[in-house]
């Protein structure tokens, strides 16, 4: 049975099965949109927490680190309650739509991206910001210079965020609902279709997920290799 399912999985992959690749497209669209929204906010927040000196900064950093282990299914539960018909945002009718999944993934990606950006900026050479400021850069420009100089760590943070949202299942299932052609993602399909006995699709999607996860990290490693030392 295992062998037949694997053979069928590769047939689905290499014959361009529209259902399977449609699921992959939904996953990529949702996760990349969520990242595009979360990344600028999180990078700005992470940078602000790293260089800013304000009351409550330490508490904010502790809270951020705690959010890293926040279960995605709980994010899904809270979002479900907020978006459900009787919830405070029920009037928007977003539950079981790709937009709801995007909101959930933005919430999941924000702390990951912000925490990794915070670590990258804190670990950056302090001479970078000083040099930029001393050469006449205003503070905002010095921030961009520092982020540019640490770009591989920042891209690494975005990759970590991508890995987290593309592979999460709890929130996508709760607020997406695994509706074929609309909110069925790689992870929700693997979780639910496999339980119905459709192993081939599960194996094929699992393979795509692994390629995506490894591919992003390999691309990052290659980029870092080309970057050289400062």
Partner 1 sequence: MSVALLSVHGLVKGYGDGAALLAIPSLELAEGACWIVTGDNGAGKSTLLRVLAGLEPARADAASFAGRPLDLANYPDDVRREIVYVHQHPYLFQRSIAANIGYGLARRGVARAEQARRIAAAIAWAGLDRVRDAPPGRLSGGEKQRVALARAWAVAPRLLLLDEPTANLDATARAQVLALLRELAEAGRTVVVACHDRELIELPHAEQWHLAEGHLGRQR
Return residues touching partner 1 (CB under 8 A). 125, 127-128, 130-139, 141, 145, 149, 227-230
Least distance to partner 1, CB of residue 59, Å = 19
Measured between alpha carbons, how far is 83 from 99 in angstroms, rounded to an integer?
Answer: 11
Please spell the DSSP secondary structure of 54-120, one letter per residue. -TTHHHHHHHHHHHTT--HHHHHHHHHHHHSTTSTTGGG--TTSHHHHHHHHHHHHHHHHHHHHHHH
Alpha carbons 210 and 216: distance in angstroms, whole number: 10
Q: Toward partner 1, which CB reaches closer, 211 or 222?
A: 222
Pick between residue 145 and residue 167 the one whose CB is nearest to partner 1: 145
d(CA 48, CA 171): 28
Kindly state the smallest distance separating residue 132's Cβ from partner 1, in Å: 8
Task: Residue 114: name the closest of 35, 1, 217, 183 by CA.
Answer: 35
**In whole angstroms, how large is the CA radius of gyration of the chain?**
20
Sign of the four-CA dihedral 104, 108, 111, 114: negative
Q: Are 154 and 147 in contact (CB under 8 A)?
A: yes
Nearer to partner 1, 88 or 126 (CB): 126
Q: How far is the CB of 146 from partner 1 (least distance, A)?
A: 10
Report in angstroms how near the CB of residue 149 gets to partner 1 at its nearest. Answer: 6
* Between 124 and 157, CB nearer to partner 1: 124
Q: How far is the CB of 154 from partner 1 (least distance, A)?
A: 13
Cβ 6 to partner 1, closest distance in Å?
A: 45
Which CB atom, from 94 or from 120, has the smaller least distance to partner 1?
A: 120
Phi, psi of 224 (to 5 degrees): -65, -35
State which residue, 16 or 136, has the beta carbon closest to partner 1.
136
């Amino acid at each position: 049975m295992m062998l037949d399912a694997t053979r069928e999985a590769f047939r689905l992959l290499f014959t361009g099965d529209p259902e399977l690749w449609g699921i992959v497209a939904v996953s990529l669209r949702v996760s990349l949109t969520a990242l595009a929204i979360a990344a600028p906010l999180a990078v700005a927040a992470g940078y602000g927490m790293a260089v800013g000196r304000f009351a409550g900064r330490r508490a904010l950093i502790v809270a951020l680190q705690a959010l890293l282990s926040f279960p995605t299914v709980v994010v899904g539960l809270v979002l479900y309650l907020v978006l459900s018909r009787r919830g405070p945002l029920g009037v928007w009718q977003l539950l079981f739509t790709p937009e709801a999944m995007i909101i959930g993934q933005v919430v999941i990606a924000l702390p990951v991206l912000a925490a990794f950006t915070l670590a990258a900026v804190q670990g950056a050479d302090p001479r970078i910001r000083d040099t930029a400021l001393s050469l006449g850069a205003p503070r905002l420009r010095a921030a961009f210079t520092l982020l540019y100089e640490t770009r591989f760590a920042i891209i690494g943070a975005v990759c970590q965020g991508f890995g987290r949202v593309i592979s999460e299942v709890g929130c996508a299932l709760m607020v997406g609902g695994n509706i074929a052609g609309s909110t069925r993602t790689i992870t929700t399909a693997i979780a639910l279709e496999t339980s119905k006995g459709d192993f081939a699709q599960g194996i094929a999607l699992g393979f795509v997920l692994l390629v995506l996860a490894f591919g992003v990290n390999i691309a990052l490693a290659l980029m870092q290799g080309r970057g050289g030392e400062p």
